[in-house]
Structure 1
Amino acid sequence: MKKEDFLNLKAWFKDYVRSFHSEDTLILQNVRLKEEHTSRVCENSSRIAISEKLDEEDYYLAVTIALLHDIGRFEQISKYKTFHDSESENHALLGVRVLRSAGVLSFLSKKEQDIIFTAIENHNLQKIPDGLDGKTLLHSKLVRDADKVDIYKVLTDFYLIKAISPNPALEHGLPDDEKYSAHLIQDIFNNKISSIKGVRNCNDMNLTRLTWLFDLNFIETFRLVKERGYIEKMIATFPQNSETNAVHVHLNKYLDSMLDNA
């Protein structure tokens, strides 16, 4: 891909998003939220791509995937008024359908289109499927990292205002109490990525998100997490006790070990 290709897609993206602007406050709030999220994921992807010394073609492929990774979110929030796939539909697959229907990538080679579609399909999975070629795997990993880092920002920003400015599209309808599940704490100590199946409350959901740290792929991603203090911000949402303090220490040790071995 070339810079001009990316800029043309960026212009299309802006027009597409504008078509979802609504007088419905919930929809407009979340369209803007995802538009801002997309912009930051592009910035994260750019930093990671530069740190990995990707050539021009792969650099613009990476930021294009970042630009389009959540394209399904706009139809999702407009149609279902939620971002929860379990209550609506898989936003990644929806996004691929949107792009195919619009034909906006038809000027690209089949190989480039396949990489973009596959990376989008994989960006919200718990685990990337086996069997991908090296270039597709690279771009699948890169957008997942860039996305996860900004989801931490979206969530930690939301926790600060949740009590006075709730957003049903971001909430899972889970109890917000002081409890949390022991097996999720153990997953962290085992450096294991947790499943969201069976989470019981908000603390459980946030513990699963902390295990995303074990699914990050690039040193620059770890730098971004540390630079922006996301572990501390996430830990601050839990009851403060010896167990959550131990989780905090463990995650920081893991993060520092990844950076020290760079």
Structure 2
Amino acid sequence: MDEEKFNELKTWFHNYVGSFYTDDSFIQLNVILKEEHSIRVCENASLIAASEKLDNNDYFLAKTIALLHDIGRFKQISKYRTFKDSDSENHAVLGVKVLKAEGILSNLPATEQKIILLAVVNHNRFRIKGNLDERTLLHAKLIRDADKLDIFKVLLEHHNQKDEIPNPALELGLPDKAEYSTVIVKELLQNKVASVSHVKTCNDMNLTRLAWLFDLNFRETFSLVKKHGFIDKLISTLPQNAEIEALRTHLNEYMD
């Protein structure tokens, strides 16, 4: 993978996404949201790849995976009007189907095609699956970190503007109430990636996102989480009480 091939894929990406532009304001809002998200994930992947001193080939491979990781989201939101995989299709699996159907990876070496597809299909799993070789595992971990960094940003921006610019697609049909699951809090205090089985409210969803801290893989990712204050900002979206304050302390100590 080199810069020229990456730029060709980037041109294809924007043309493909543009085919989903519509007068339907809900669909258009979310198509653009995921288009911009994908570009920012590329930037995150670039920072992580550079910090790991990856060679030029793997640097642009990491950016390619980041660009394409959510390619299934556009068909998902257009067809089902939701980003909730359980109410539609697993967007990572759908993304692999799109990439194969479009044939846009066909000019790449078979090894790189395989790495891209395996990284895409693993980017949203609870845990990475499969007996991946060292290089593929590196890229699977890198896209997971790069993606999480931007989802933190997207969630916080949505929280701050949801009254002026509501977007139900980001709330996955969950009620925006003050309640939260103490079970999820206990899991976080045990350094566990929280199970979604206890998610009943938007607060619960934000708690599970905080639990992503225990599934980050690179020092640069932690540095960026700290630089942008994502943990304290996400904690501030929750009800403020002694339990949540204890969680804030625990997460910041873990990060340090």
Residue correspondences, number: 256
Equivalent residue, structure 2, for 1:224:
224
* 1:249 aligned onto 2:254: no
Equivalent residue, structure 2, for 1:75:
75
State how 1:198-209 maps to structure 2 within 5 Å: 198-209=198-209
Equivalent residue, structure 1, for 2:56:
56
State how 1:119-134 maps to structure 2 within 5 Å: 119-134=119-134
Equivalent residue, structure 2, for 1:196:
196
Q: Please report how far the alpha carbon of residue 94 of structure 1 lies from its aligned counterpart in structure 2 after TM superposition.
A: 0.5
SS at match of 2:180: coil
Q: Residue 183 of structure 2 contacts residue 198 of structure 2 at CA under 8 Å; is this kept in 1?
A: no
Q: Please report how far the alpha carbon of residue 196 of structure 1 lies from its aligned counterpart in structure 2 after TM superposition.
A: 0.8
Equivalent residue, structure 2, for 1:103:
103
Q: Which amino acid aligns with 2:126?
A: Q
Equivalent residue, structure 2, for 1:260:
none
- CA displacement 1:75-103 (0-9 Å, x = unmatched): 11111111111111000011110110010
- CA displacement 1:238-258 (0-9 Å, x = unmatched): 1111110111111111111xx
Q: Structure 1: where are the runs of 5+ without partners?
A: 257-262
State how 1:162-173 maps to structure 2 within 5 Å: 162-173=162-173
SS at match of 1:247: helix
Q: Residue 184 of structure 2 contacts residue 198 of structure 2 at CA under 8 Å; is this kept in 1?
A: no
TM-score scaled by length of structure 1: 0.96
Structure-1 separation of matches of 2:137 and 2:229: 28
Q: Please report how far the alpha carbon of residue 175 of structure 1 lies from its aligned counterpart in structure 2 after TM superposition.
A: 2.3
- CA displacement 1:110-131 (0-9 Å, x = unmatched): 1100000000000000100141
Q: Please report how far the alpha carbon of residue 172 of structure 1 lies from its aligned counterpart in structure 2 after TM superposition.
A: 2.0
Q: Please report how far the alpha carbon of residue 206 of structure 1 lies from its aligned counterpart in structure 2 after TM superposition.
A: 1.1
SS at match of 1:206: helix
Equivalent residue, structure 2, for 1:26:
26
Structure-2 separation of matches of 1:174 and 1:74: 21
Equivalent residue, structure 1, for 2:174:
174
Q: Which amino acid aligns with 1:236?
A: S
SS at match of 2:245: helix
Q: Please report how far the alpha carbon of residue 161 of structure 1 lies from its aligned counterpart in structure 2 after TM superposition.
A: 1.1
Q: Give me the identity figure in percent.
A: 59
- CA displacement 1:17-39 (0-9 Å, x = unmatched): 11111000011111110111011
RMSD, aligned CA: 0.9
Q: Which amino acid aligns with 2:179?
A: K
Equivalent residue, structure 2, for 1:259:
none
Q: Which amino acid aligns with 1:113?
A: Q
Equivalent residue, structure 1, for 2:187:
187
Q: Which amino acid aligns with 2:145?
A: D
Equivalent residue, structure 2, for 1:154:
154
TM-score scaled by length of structure 2: 0.98
Q: Residue 181 of structure 2 contacts residue 198 of structure 2 at CA under 8 Å; is this kept in 1?
A: no
* 1:92 aligned onto 2:80: no
Q: Please report how far the alpha carbon of residue 171 of structure 1 lies from its aligned counterpart in structure 2 after TM superposition.
A: 1.4
Q: Structure 2: where are the runs of 5+ without partners?
A: none
Structure-2 separation of matches of 1:24 and 1:176: 25
- CA displacement 1:176-219 (0-9 Å, x = unmatched): 22222221111111110011123121111111110000000000
Structure-2 separation of matches of 1:198 and 1:232: 22
Equivalent residue, structure 2, for 1:3:
3
Equivalent residue, structure 2, for 1:214:
214
Q: Residue 203 of structure 2 contacts residue 238 of structure 2 at CA under 8 Å; is this kept in 1?
A: yes
